Amino acid sequence: MTQLDLNSHAKVPVAEAPESEALDSAVLDTEPSELTKLGRRRDHSRDADILQAALDVLAETGYDGMTIDMVAARAKAGKATLYRRWPSKGHLVVDAVACMKSTDAEAGAVPDTGTLRGDLLAMIKPHTVEQGERKLRIMAGISSMMSREPELAGIAKRQILEPQMTITRTLLQRAKDRGEISPDIDIEQISCISPAMAGHRALVLGKPVTPEFVLSLIDNVILPACRLSNVR
């Protein structure tokens, strides 16, 4: 609604630093330029808590339902502290999404079991599935804003969709390289199946995305789409 023109900010790595352990905080600092260093210094360890709180509220109430006071209260911070670090609610949200933990700590660890089915099954872990659902909820929370804010839409896609998509693409490409699946297979299309079906189930149908659901999806949709019978 309010346009939110700021095209700077979000100086996150975001891109491809798979090993980033720390809660990479990408906050604008009021110029730690050079000569000045006086008085109490900003406690940047709070950034992570605040961004985390913002993501929580976002997942629960959506962008429009979220208020700065909610975030501040949940982070046990003052509202002024938030505004000292981010110029607006929109910027806070953009930064929160941009700094989202790569939940796929296993992002670096792409499974390699020798078969496509084995690789896909290896991606099913309760923790991953649970975190994926949370991400979807965050995505839904900012969906109304995404159409008005291409910048945010891009960041959200990169942070929420890309990690899993990238892994899936890799698995499929390897399967193609070793001749397990045909070179004609549209990897991009296949990679969309899982996020699309999971999102539909969680956000539209309101049903939980269980490991059983993902398993059935792999055997009954994804592998058939790769022209592989699921009979191992």
Residues that bind DNA (CB under 7 A): 1-2, 30, 36-43, 46, 65-69, 72, 76-81, 83-85, 87-90
Residue 221 touches which of a second copy, DNA, none (Cβ within 5-8 Å per kind): a second copy
At closest approach, how far in Å is the CB of 115 from DNA? Answer: 49
Binding status of residue 32 toward a second copy by CB under 8 A: no
Q: Which amino acid is at 11?
A: K
**Does 143 sit near a second copy (CB under 8 A)?**
yes
Residue 215 binding a second copy, by CB under 8 A: no
Q: How far apart are CA 161 and CA 188, in angstroms?
A: 13
Q: What is the DSSP string of 31-70?
A: ---SS---SSPP-THHHHHHHHHHHHHHHHHHHHH--HHH
Using CB under 8 A, which of 168, 191, 199, 209 touches a second copy?
199
Nearest CB to DNA, comparing residues 19 and 31:
31
Half-sphere exposure of 17 (CA within 13 A, CB side): 10
- Out of a second copy, DNA, none, which partner does residue 188 contact, by CB within 5 to 8 A per kind? none
Q: Which of 125, 196, 208, 212 binds a second copy (CB under 8 A)?
A: 196
Among 55, 75, 92, 139, binds a second copy (CB under 8 A): 139
Q: 55 to 94, contacts with a second copy by CB under 8 A?
A: 61-65
Q: Distance (Å, rounded) from C-alpha 187 to C-alpha 189? A: 5
Closest CA to 81 of 92, 72, 73, 90: 72
Q: Which of 153, 169, 174, 176 binds a second copy (CB under 8 A)?
A: 153
Residue 53, exposed/middle/buried by CB under 10 A (0-12, 13-18, 19+)? buried
Residues 169, 159: Cα–Cα separation, whole Å = 16
